[in-house]
Amino acid sequence: MVTLNSYLTLSAVLFSIGAVGVFTQRNALIMYMCIELMLNAVNLTFIAFSRYLNDLGGHVFVFMIMTVAAAEAAVGLAIIMALFRNKETVNVDEINLSKG
Amino acid sequence: MQLLMFYILGFGAVLSALLLVTSKKPVNAAMSLIATMFCLAGLYVLLDAHLVAVLQILVYAGAVMVLFLFVIMLLNIQEKEGRLAGSTIALQFVSILGVGMVFVIAASLVKVRGALPTGGELFPFGTTKAVGSMLFTEYLLPFEIASMLLLAAIVGAVILAKRRISDAKP
């Protein structure tokens, strides 16, 4: 019997892995992928609660999160491309334009 | 059966997520993320979220990841770019922090005793018809705002990624 708890714990594990990835990776592209992983973990929580409460509102929220993730990926990758064109790198340690 | 599927898909998701955060090449990371997304789509099917499961594969594994791969191949990043954070102490600290995060969330879930309802619903749960009718009635305004957001993202991506006219001249 799979309980709500199992899904929430799995979601927590995935979210934490994504958070660790954002902190450890220095490649901007892989950092973006880790952020996508975190968004996906949250989606799993929404779906699990939606099933538990027998309410379809959670599915609509997941729909919105997917929209935002797609928009974020498009704009974020465009920013990375613009950065790469100027600095010839995607390593975030070498991108320090705002540093005083 | 459902428990077995949950464990297979959950294990696959966690394993490919770990491969994602430890990978050094962006292409390997993208492939791991696609594997994670397929496992999550399977979990959504287990939770009777059929429309969301299909959208997960179409939008995430299809559109978003193809965009990622397209940019990776367009940029042609050299080998030296892909490396983890410099010092091993920082890596260990962040890893411990991540494990601690899992434990904090898991500890807060100890008292949750939610048995998920299985089968015999009053209405078809998670089908395109059910979610669609909800999107176009109760959540019509957020749905329209989402379309505006996508339009803004398209315009923003084009403006950010295009070359300046002055750059184009030799």
Domain membership of residue B134 (yes or no) is yes
Residues B73 and B11 occupy one common structural domain: yes
Using CA atoms, how far apart are residues A30 and B25, in angstroms rounded to an integer?
8
**Chain length of chain B:** 170
Residues B1 and B79 occupy one common structural domain: yes
For residue A67, pLDDT over 90 is answered with yes
- At A9-29, the pLDDT tens digits run 899 999 999 998 888 888 889
The complex's ipTM works out to: 0.91
Q: For the CA atoms of chain A, what is the radius of gyration?
A: 17
What average pLDDT does range A65-83 have in this prediction?
91
**CA neighbor of B109 nearest in space, from A99, A52, A57, A32:** A52
Domain membership of residue B2 (yes or no) is yes
- The per-residue pLDDT for A86 is 81
- The per-residue pLDDT for B165 is 60
Residues B68 and B137 occupy one common structural domain: no
Query: Tell me, what CATH number does A33's domain have?
Result: 1.10.287.3510
| Residue B154 in contact with partner chain A when CB distance is under 8 A | yes
Domain membership of residue A10 (yes or no) is yes
Structural domain harbouring B154: 124-163
User: Would you call B83 helix, strand, or coil by DSSP?
Assistant: coil
Q: How many domains does one find in chain B?
A: 2
With bands split at pLDDT 50, 70 and 90, how would you rate the model's confidence at B166? Answer: low
Distance from CA of A71 to the nearest CA of B (A): 5
- At B120-136, the pLDDT tens digits run 555 577 788 888 888 89
Domain membership of residue B117 (yes or no) is no
Domain end position, chosen among B65, B83, B101: B83
For residue B38, pLDDT over 80 is answered with yes
Structural domain harbouring A51: 4-87
- The per-residue pLDDT for B153 is 93
Go through A52-64 and write b for each residue having 16 or more CB atoms within 10 A of its CB, e for each that does not: beeebebbbbbbb
What average pLDDT does range B12-17 have in this prediction?
95
- The per-residue pLDDT for B123 is 58
User: Would you call B78 helix, strand, or coil by DSSP?
Assistant: coil
With bands split at pLDDT 50, 70 and 90, how would you rate the model's confidence at A40? Answer: very high
- At B57-114, the pLDDT tens digits run 999 888 999 999 999 888 877 655 445 555 677 777 878 888 888 888 877 777 777 6
Q: Do A7 and B43 touch (CB under 8 A)?
A: yes
Q: Do B63 and A82 touch (CB under 8 A)?
A: no
**CA neighbor of A23 nearest in space, from B92, B60, B16:** B92
| Residue A59 in contact with partner chain B when CB distance is under 8 A | yes
Of B6, B91, B126, the CB nearest to A59: B126
